[in-house]
């Protein structure tokens, strides 16, 4: 299967020999265009490292929290069935695609990076679902039933966003494996789920334990 040419070109501009492959996600019926780990078993040059740090191709990975949230929605479709859903910081679009597969009425993938939205579109096509797209969460109307959030709190500067999710949706589901002292009066933890990032980045085991939090206004 050949990856979308524009998306492959975007990745190649960062890492000349990097390739996208359609990878099945364990524990789901989903596939994503992900960076081919078998082709990247080498050290990065200083210039590649600089480009990766400046413009990380995070959309070419399925992060552990996104995978855990996708599995949760597949197992508990009542969270999204017949609902309008926004996938915040969508990245590869895995959570939004899972929501669509589980019966959501509408799913909007929201990300500030055009490459991420291109990845969402390619992955939506790969999984035979339809998504809407947005680059500005705060420009969206307060019309969503549920806001999905996965792997956004890796930067603690993003913690104030927790206060804003319920300004655009009636409920929020937040999946995170990074914040150990998560405390917010509006959110309660539903459980802890084990997942890993694909391709495997050999992250510490603690980052494979994904907490899922729920808030409702």
**Does residue 55 surpass a pLDDT of 90?**
no
**Does residue 202 surpass a pLDDT of 90?**
no
Mean pLDDT of the chain: 93
Task: Quote the percentage of the chain above a pLDDT of 90.
Answer: 79
Contact between 146 and 173 (Cβ < 8 Å):
yes
Give the pLDDT confidence of 103-147 residue by residue, as tens digits.
999 999 999 999 999 999 999 999 999 999 999 999 999 999 999
How far is it, in rounded angstroms, from Cα 38 to Cα 40? 6
Contact between 173 and 151 (Cβ < 8 Å):
no
Q: How large is the average pLDDT for residues 170-194?
A: 95
pLDDT of res. 66: 97
How far is it, in rounded angstroms, from Cα 129 to Cα 142? 24
Q: How large is the average pLDDT for residues 177-187?
A: 93
DSSP state, residue 44 = P
DSSP state, residue 140 = S
How would you class 77 by CB atoms within 10 Å of its CB: exposed for 0-12, middle for 13-18, buried for 19 or more? middle
Give the pLDDT confidence of 87-99 residue by residue, as tens digits.
999 999 999 999 9
Strand, helix or coil at 184? Answer: coil
Q: What pTM value is reported for the model?
A: 0.93
Break the chain into its structural domains and give their ranges: 5-60, 64-216
Tokens matching residue 197? 């990032």
- More reliable by pLDDT, 37 or 132: 132
pLDDT of res. 43: 66
DSSP state, residue 45 = P
- More reliable by pLDDT, 207 or 124: 124
**Does residue 44 surpass a pLDDT of 70?**
no
pLDDT of res. 110: 98
Q: For the chain, how big is the Rg over CA atoms in Å?
A: 16
What fold characterizes domain 64-216?
A: Rossmann fold (3.40.50)
Place of tokens 């992250």: 203
């Amino acid at each position: 299967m050949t990856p979308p040419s524009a998306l492959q070109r975007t990745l190649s501009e960062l890492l000349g020999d990097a390739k996208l492959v359609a990878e099945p996600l364990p524990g789901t019926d989903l596939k994503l265009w992900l960076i081919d780990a078998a082709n990247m078993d080498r050290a990065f040059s200083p210039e590649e490292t600089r480009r990766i740090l400046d413009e990380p191709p995070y959309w070419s990975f399925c992060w552990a929290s996104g995978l855990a949230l996708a599995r949760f929605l597949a197992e508990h479709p009542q969270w999204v069935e017949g609902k309008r859903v926004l996938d915040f910081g969508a990245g590869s679009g895995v959570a939004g695609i899972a929501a669509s597969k589980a019966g959501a009425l509408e799913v909007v993938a929201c990300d500030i990076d055009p490459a991420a939205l291109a990845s969402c579109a390619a992955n939506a096509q790969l999984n035979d679902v339809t998504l809407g797209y947005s680059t500005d969460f705060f420009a969206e109307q307060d019309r969503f039933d549920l806001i999905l959030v996965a792997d956004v709190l890796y930067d603690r500067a993003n913690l104030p966003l927790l206060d804003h999710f319920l300004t655009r949706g009636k409920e929020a589901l937040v999946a995170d494996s990074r914040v150990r002292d998560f405390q917010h009066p509006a959110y309660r933890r539903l459980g802890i789920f084990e997942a890993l990032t694909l391709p495997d980045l050999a992250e510490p085991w603690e980052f494979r334990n994904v907490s899922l939090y729920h808030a409702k206004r």
